[in-house]
Amino acid sequence: MAEDMEKLEAVTKRTWPIVMAWIGGISALVGFFAMISGNVNRLIQRHRHHAEHEAQMSLAQTQANQGEYRASLATYTELLKNDPLDRPVLDAQLNTAMLWVEDFGVYVREGQNEADVSAPALDQILPVLTAGLTRAKGVEAADVEAHLGWAHWLNGQMAQRESGSIADSDLQAALKIDPHNVYAHAMTGFLQLKTGGELELAMQHFQTAVATGRARSFVRRLQLSALIYLDEPGARAELIRVANDMRKNNEVMEAGNRNRILGFCFDPIVTNHKELVESLSAIPNDEARKTYEWLDGKPSVGESEDWWKLKNDYVDANLLELNGNREEALAKYRELQKKMGKGYSSLGNAVNAGIARLSSTKSARANEGVQVEDGMFSVQIPSFVIRDVRKRSLAGENVA
């Protein structure tokens, strides 16, 4: 019995290390698999977080593209809660704030005040632009500074919470950083025209903005908005030059602006002859015709084709007159007169004035005479008398 116990003890001593080794190996394997499982879980969580992050970024961008700027900024704000220093998110948020400033507008319901509706939106925009300015460098910094100035102008104009001096300072700061900054020049040109500034200086700002080739649609939007209905000498001419430039560059102009330009510059009901002449003579005669056709290529909604054709013929008659083709212009006016009959009183008055203008010129030319001096006396002999005398002289009559 004792011998058996000794054998068992010997076997145990030999096998126990093996058993423990197996247990250790199994434990190591368990730990290894646990580690792998933990890493896999972390990878899954990281992938899930990345997918959610990308989905939120995509949502915010879609919201901005659809003009839902308030919602877009809110989505970016939620993303920044996970990482307040996430640079791509911060940059996207800044770009959205600048887009919102460019396209800023509020819907004011009955009984509401525009200032009360505008203020919360601007409170959402201004901090983003201010923070973005601390990160931006070079041209980007000038872009942000200009948009900050525009936001301050809106804060004064719509929310009625500040003066325009802050906006002016921001725009000047933007031009100091980037002397050719497209936004600062376009915004400065707009504000000068809206506050009674010089037309020529404002147009220089717009021309500089256009020459950059950047943000062309935004520049044109401000330019057209500032010039349409600016009722001062030269404004209509500048407006037609802008329209002509857009036509030649194949730029898009929305229908609303086309109709407003046609009414402000060419409509015989609301424009007088002097204003029409300013519009038509702003560019070469052939380009004026092409630009008018580009603006008024077809009858607008609710406009009869007859009226549309009469307006086109009236513009043609004026272009002929301005080009010095007086006989053709007079014939065109008379043709228009016959077409209208007793209708279209406003256009009829303009056509009648054209006929009177050209007829009086023709009559004055017909009555031009020659000066005949006889001693101390001199008389002006009408041309029709001279023609009659020459005719009778050729017939051999005594005309003395």
Backbone angles phi, psi at 159, to 5 degrees: -85, -15
Q: Give me the percent of the chain exceeding a pLDDT of 90.
A: 64
Cα 222 from Cα 183, distance rounded (Å): 10
Nearest to 184 by CA among 231, 222, 240, 135: 222
Cα 365 from Cα 387, distance rounded (Å): 14
Q: Name the band, by pLDDT with cuts 50, 70 and 90, for residue 9.
A: low
**pLDDT of 41 over the 70 cut:** no
Q: What is the mean pLDDT of residues 297-323?
A: 91
Give the pLDDT of residue 173: 97
To the nearest 10 degrees (0 to 180), the angle between helices 345-366 and 326-340 is 140
Nearest to 135 by CA among 77, 185, 84: 84
The DSSP string of 121-161 is: HHHHHHHHHHHHHHH--HHHHHHHHHHHHHHHHHHHHTS--
Give the pLDDT of residue 112: 87
The DSSP string of 157-179 is: HTS--S-THHHHHHHHHHHHH-T
Cα 366 from Cα 333, distance rounded (Å): 20
**pLDDT of 139 over the 50 cut:** yes
**pLDDT of 395 over the 70 cut:** no
Cα 386 from Cα 391, distance rounded (Å): 9
pLDDT tens-digit readout, 345-381: 788 889 999 999 998 765 555 554 444 444 333 344 4
Give the pLDDT of residue 339: 87
Q: Name the band, by pLDDT with cuts 50, 70 and 90, for residue 297.
A: confident
Q: Give me the percent of the chain exceeding a pLDDT of 70.
A: 78
Cα 276 from Cα 267, distance rounded (Å): 8
Give the pLDDT of residue 223: 98
Alpha helices in 266-325 (DSSP H): 273-280, 285-295, 305-322
| Number of other CB atoms surrounding residue 395 within 10 Å | 8
pTM (two decimals) = 0.78
Cα 235 from Cα 72, distance rounded (Å): 39
| Tokens (6 digits) for 295 | 């603006």
Across 109-123, 127-141, 150-164, the highest mean pLDDT is recorded for 127-141
Nearest to 299 by CA among 289, 288, 310: 310
Sequence ranges of the domains in the chain: 368-400
Q: What is the mean pLDDT of residues 318-333?
A: 94
Angle (nearest 5°) at CA 283 between 281 and 284:
90
**Percentages (nearest 5) of helix, strand, coil residues in the chain:** 75, 0, 25
Give the pLDDT of residue 381: 40
Nearest to 298 by CA among 325, 258, 265: 258
Cα 79 from Cα 60, distance rounded (Å): 10
pLDDT tens-digit readout, 45-59: 666 767 888 999 999
Q: Name the band, by pLDDT with cuts 50, 70 and 90, for residue 14.
A: low
Q: What is the mean pLDDT of residues 188-214?
A: 97
Q: Name the band, by pLDDT with cuts 50, 70 and 90, for residue 44.
A: low
Q: What is the mean pLDDT of the chain?
A: 85
Instruction: Give exposure, 311-346, as e/b (b: 16+ Cβ within 10 Å).
Output: bebbbbbbbbbebeebeebbebbbebeeebeeebee
198 in Cβ contact with 173 (< 8 Å): no
